[in-house]
Amino acid sequence: MENLLDINFLIDSFPAIISRLPVTIGIAVGSLILSLFIGVATALIKIYRVPVLRVISAIYVSFIRGTPLLVQIYLVFYGIPKIIYYMQIEYGWLQSADVNSIPPEVYALLAFSVNLGAYLSETIRSAIESVDRGQFEAAKSIGMTPVQMMLKVIFPQALATAIPNLGNMFISTIKDTSLVFIIGVIDIMGEAKILGSRGLAFFEVYIAVSIVYWILCIAVERLLVKVEKRARRYERGIA
């Protein structure tokens, strides 16, 4: 009689799955960092109503929000090599670029950065706009440039407001990285699929990988709570 669950196989699969944690965390953290730059730039374009760029940023955010992440990954994975190849043939640009040597992790990182940047732009915009207008006027009155005002006065206060949403999006990104296996990235989900196909024990490896994701997200959530407390402490100091 066949057992419902092969406990030994489940336990033995953990080391291999955990060994791929750096890939999952690397894509999630890297995309968060890059998306912050995209999100801040897009948010400032909307806040200051920059001509032309404002329309482009609105289309960008609308497109990302209105299409599945899976489709966006495919667009980046198949689109970037085609664009590079087109530029090489038609204009002679990027001749040193070899699309075949670009690792799939790079495409995954770009796709997640573009996706997350669109969502973060709204979070960052609302966080900046939540800062009391008096702070803007006070910074201007002491002769701060717009860049100094944003970096030294506005962003530190907006950060405390944005951290909860940033944390939720980061946790969602960690879970969404399970999609990168479709373009050949072997993350923890990819490793689980490989192990499952080898041992024909998909149920066991999916239990194992779900536990790894669960523990990872709990650890990140605990870390974010500490970061938020420190930011709120700074906010109380300002008040």
Domains and CATH numbers, the chain: 7-238 (1.10.3720.10)
Half-sphere exposure in the Cβ direction for 92 (13 Å, CA):
0
| Cβ atoms of 153 and 224 closer than 8 Å | no
pLDDT tens digits for range 71-86: 999 999 999 999 999 9
Residue 184's SS3 state is: coil
Q: Where are the alpha helices (DSSP H) in 52-103?
A: 53-65, 69-90
CA 147, CA 138: separation in Å to the nearest integer?
Answer: 14
Task: Give the CA dihedral 177, 180, 181, 185, nearest 10 degrees.
Answer: -110
For residue 230, what are its two tokens? 């420190």
Distance CA 194, CA 46 (A): 44
**5-32, pLDDT tens digit by residue?**
889 999 999 999 999 999 999 999 999 9
Close Cβ partners of 198 (under 8 Å, ≥ 6 residues apart): none
Q: Are 128 and 209 in contact (CB under 8 A)?
A: no
The pTM (predicted TM-score) of the whole model is 0.89
Tell me 156's DSSP state. Answer: H
Of 8, 24, 72, 1, nearest to 204 by C-alpha is 8
Least confident interval from 60-69, 149-158, 196-205, 207-216: 149-158
Q: What is the pLDDT of residue 231?
A: 73
